[in-house]
Structure 1
């Protein structure tokens, strides 16, 4: 495949390396910021004359993703950008009328399985308190992670529609309420990504956890999706319907 990369941060650098190892070609990179270490043709915006590509892979920033979704880019698009989820999904669905568009806040297939597990387990856990914990490296700028929001959505949609996410217990001096779901965010070192859901009951705790040991799982996920998306009709895709 000929790939157009949107953004050239740590993730798309891994996408590029793995793609070339598998015989794919990076035809260009769209990045509005200075990228002196980029060995590919660099474009600052979608207003420029971009090279022909089979698919675009976006690991960038919501601002650049919104620019892409507002442009006339007419190829399959894979979006793994996190942040401003509601706005981006609305724009993706509009773009999907003319392009195949895939979105996941986490390109790991294992996280997709974790989400499926939660959709099954959470409705059985009415008598358990739920806590969500996520850990990432010290360079990650958004908190909580898009993946944690994805897991929280799975729980609230399937089992806890009245849930009250609690992001900072230091702001209150009262006991935990039944509808509370605690959200804990940790940033440090080079932690790739760790997400854990705790179901705490009387005298027992059930934990479901996913640990990413390398960024390659996300790059591999994007490339695997790309091989499928290039053959899809226009529409909005996720791991649930790809």
Structure 2
């Protein structure tokens, strides 16, 4: 494939390396900021004359992703940006009428499997307290992560629509409410990514946990999604329908 990258941060550098190792070609990088040591042609705006590409992979920032989604570009798009999920989904819905667009808050297939497990398990855990814990490196900006928000959405949609999200227990001096779902965010060091859903019952605890050991799993996930997306008709794609 000929790939156009949006942004050239840590993730798209990994995408570029793995893509070239797999025989793909990076035809350019779209970024409004000058990217240091970028070996590919740089373009500041989607309104420029861009090189022909089979797919676009976006690991950037919501502000740049929104510009891509509101541009005239009709190349298939893999959107892997985190943050401002509702705004991005709304724009993807519109863009999908003119091009195939894949979106996931987490490009790991293992996280997708974790979500599938949750959809089965959550309705069975009516009497269990639920806590969500996520850990990431000290450079991550958004908190909680887009992946944790997705896990929370699954839990609420499947069985806990009236859940009360608790982000900071230091604000109260009362015991836990049965409807509470605790959300803990940890940032430190070089932790790639860890997400855990903990079900605490009477004298027993069950947890579903995913640990990312390398950023390469997200880059590979984006490339695999791109490989499948280029043959699809216009539409909004996720792991569930791709």
TM-score, normalization by structure 2:
0.99
Residue 151 of structure 2 corresponds to which residue in structure 1? Answer: 151
Partner of 1:183, secondary structure, is strand
- Matched residues in 2 for 1:198 and 1:86: separation? 26
- Matched residues in 2 for 1:122 and 1:137: separation? 28
Residue 48 of structure 2 corresponds to which residue in structure 1? Answer: 48
Partner of 2:134, secondary structure, is strand
The count of residues paired between Structure 1 and Structure 2 equals: 242
- Matched residues in 1 for 2:153 and 2:191: separation? 24
- Matched residues in 2 for 1:116 and 1:172: separation? 34
- Matched residues in 1 for 2:137 and 2:43: separation? 28
1:233 aligns with 2:239: no
Report deviation, 1:186: 0.3
Tell me whether 119-128 or 27-36 shows the greater mean CA deviation.
27-36
State the superposition RMSD in angstroms: 0.6
1:138 aligns with 2:108: no
- Matched residues in 1 for 2:31 and 2:162: separation? 41
Report deviation, 1:37: 1.4
- Matched residues in 1 for 2:8 and 2:95: separation? 23
- Matched residues in 1 for 2:51 and 2:118: separation? 42
Residues 1-242 of structure 1 mapped to structure 2, 5 A cutoff: 1-242=1-242
Unaligned runs of 5+ in 1: none
Report deviation, 1:34: 2.1
TM-score, normalization by structure 1:
0.99
- Matched residues in 2 for 1:81 and 1:98: separation? 20
Cα deviation digits, residues 18-76 of structure 1 (max 9, x gap):
00001100000011122121110001111211111000000000000000001001110
Report deviation, 1:171: 1.2
Partner of 1:90, secondary structure, is helix
Partner of 1:4, secondary structure, is strand
Cα deviation digits, residues 204-240 of structure 1 (max 9, x gap):
0001100000000000000111110000000000000
Partner of 1:219, secondary structure, is helix
